[in-house]
Amino acid sequence: MAVRLGDTAPDFEAPSTEGTISFHEWLGDSWGILFSHPKDFTPVCTTELGMVAKLKPEFDKRNVKAVGLSVDSVEDHNKWKGDIEETQGAALNYPLLADPDRTVANLYDMIHPNADNTLTVRSVFIIGPDKKVKLTLTYPASTGRNFDEILRVIDSLQLTADHKVATPVNWKDGDDCIVVPSISTEDAKKQFPKGVTEVKPYLRTTPQPNK
Ligand code: BEZ
């Protein structure tokens, strides 16, 4: 059964390169990103895992814990780690879950049999501190993900959670935001002291509240 937005992220206990992880307990009060890759010792995955290591300070700044997963073993993950550091210039600084019996992959519907019935696809789940799923993404094995986009989504999700604003098309940090439809323009003017522009009664913008 697919994991959908708003669902509680399925909890599990699984071995990782940093020991056994009880997922909900490991997340604690943090946001989380759980992402799967098809296979160890493959080129696209090597570049992705190196990039997530390089972006760790950005995840930390946002109170996000990252964890990767494939159906390989901890032993294979540990053997592959050296290649990631050597070729990507970044050592793995977050855990990689091992899921050879596919328990987690099945819980999160990460195996798409019409793509490949043995390997996980490139799935991403962003999970809020309430353990609810805030974003799901599914990419094919041949396309490396854009983790800058994932950080951008986290920024948008955190703005919505903290300030009740949405973000428009191609929004970047620092751009104007959109007042969510559930707030009247009158209330928005009180809530957003930097000002509210009413382009249409349903399209109101305000400068990014946390800048
Ligand atoms: C890769 O990570 O390079 C990859 C993995 C599985 C299929 C195709 C590419």
14, 21, 44, 45: which one is catalytic? Answer: 45
CATH of 13-145, one of 3.40.30.10, 3.30.70.100, 3.40.250.10, 2.102.10.10: 3.40.30.10
Within 10 Å of residue 94's Cβ, how many Cβ atoms?
Answer: 18
Q: Residue 149 is encoded by which pair of tokens?
A: 């986009």
The list of the chain residues with pLDDT below 70 reads none
In 3-state terms, what secondary structure has residue 13?
strand
Ligand 1 nearest-atom number relative to CA 39: 5
What per-residue confidence (pLDDT) applies to 1? 73
Ligand 1 nearest-atom number relative to CA 46: 2
Ranges assigned E (strand) in 16-174: 21-22, 31-36, 64-70, 96-98, 122-127, 133-139, 165-166
Is 45 known to be catalytic? yes
CA–CA distances in Å: residue 1 to residues 102, 105, 119, 150, 193: 14, 11, 17, 24, 44
Hey, where are the domains in the chain?
13-145, 163-206
Pairing of β 31-36 and β 21-22 = unpaired
Task: Find out if CATH 3.30.1020.10 is the number for domain 163-206.
Answer: yes
Within 10 Å of residue 119's Cβ, how many Cβ atoms?
Answer: 20
Q: Tell me the pTM.
A: 0.96
Quote the ligand 1 centre to 160 CA distance (angstroms): 35
Quote the ligand 1 centre to 90 CA distance (angstroms): 20
Question: Ligand 1 pocket: which of 35, 37, 44 to mutate (most atoms <8 Å of CB)?
Answer: 44
Average confidence score pLDDT of the chain: 97
Burial of 27 per CB tally in 10 Å (0-12, 13-18, 19+):
buried
pLDDT tens for residues 106-147?
Answer: 999 999 999 999 999 999 999 999 999 999 999 999 999 999
What per-residue confidence (pLDDT) applies to 109? 97
Quote the ligand 1 centre to 84 CA distance (angstroms): 15
What per-residue confidence (pLDDT) applies to 62? 98
Q: Which helix (H) or strand (E) holds 85?
A: helix 74-88
